[in-house]
Amino acid sequence: MNKGILIVSFGTSYLDTLDRTIGVIEREAAETFPDRRVYRAFTSHMIIRKLKSRENRKVDTVEEALKRMAAEGIEDVIVQPTHIINGVENDRMMEDLREHRGLFRRIRAGRPLLSSVEDYKKAVHAVMGQTKLEEGEMLVLMGHGTDHHANSAYPTLEYTFHALGYEQVLVGTVENFPELKNVMTKLEISGKKKTALMPFMLVAGDHAQNDMAGEEDSWKSRLEEKGYDVRVIMKGLGEFSGIRKIFMEHIEEAESEDTV
């Protein structure tokens, strides 16, 4: 059978971080699974439109990519999301897969980054193994956040950091709980005044550039207003080799799964 892998990402219009994160994941998938052809899809229609209008780059939706794969003779498909949690974007992706599974002899889906206890542990070690903190510095991670019940992944993530001995790490979200004010309460309790800010997102895109590190009304500016010495680490999760390894493991695990 002709085999393929579809890497599904939310997407980003920031080309530098796109290549350093999503691009590297796709290239590693091609190297790790040489018997499979790798395809790309984004779930954000807004980003797809922006890339087309600004950069004249065409990126498929999940539906378009599946139809393209079928038209090019792919019969056995593994779909691997680069989503961080099992949230809204992943639910929508799974709906698309179920709707189009008749196009293929086999189609299976890998899991998002944080899908098991071991995933959390591996993600924590992957981040801390490649993040150098200064003496007395707290690391504040900005996740996206969602009103989906999967938002519980973020407080679980912070708990896992602490349980593994990284008590200097705090996790907040842009759009749900924990909020920045919850993070700032814990910073105040810690008594530490030095903080490093880093996104806990696949790419260091719009949220990282503006909500986290922008000059006005950002996490950085609000922390600085409270007297914190803030250092920005502009690095998406896709730049961490240990994070990419988790995604490769999820692809490998999906090979033995049942059709979606």
207 tagged catalytic: no
Burial-class residue 7 by CB neighbours within 10 Å (0-12, 13-18, 19+). Answer: buried
DSSP-derived pairing of the beta strands 106-109 and 137-143: unpaired
Burial-class residue 227 by CB neighbours within 10 Å (0-12, 13-18, 19+). Answer: exposed
The amino acid at residue 228 is Y
DSSP-assigned letters across all residues of the chain: --EEEEEEE---S-HHHHIIIIIHHHHHHHHH-TTEEEEEEES-HHHHHHHHHHH------HHHHHHHHHHTT--EEEEEE--SSSSHHHHHHHHHHHHHGGGSSEEEEPPPSS-SHHHHHHHHHHHHHT-PPPTTEEEEEEE---SSGGGGHHHHHHHHHHHTT-TTEEEEESSSSS-HHHHHHHHHHHT--EEEEEE-SSS--HIIIIIIT-SSSSHHHHHHHTT-EEEE----GGG-HHHHHHHHHHHHHHTTSPP-
Q: Catalytic residue, from 83, 100, 144, 207: name it.
A: 144
* Cβ pair 6, 26 in contact under 8 A: no
Active site residues: 144
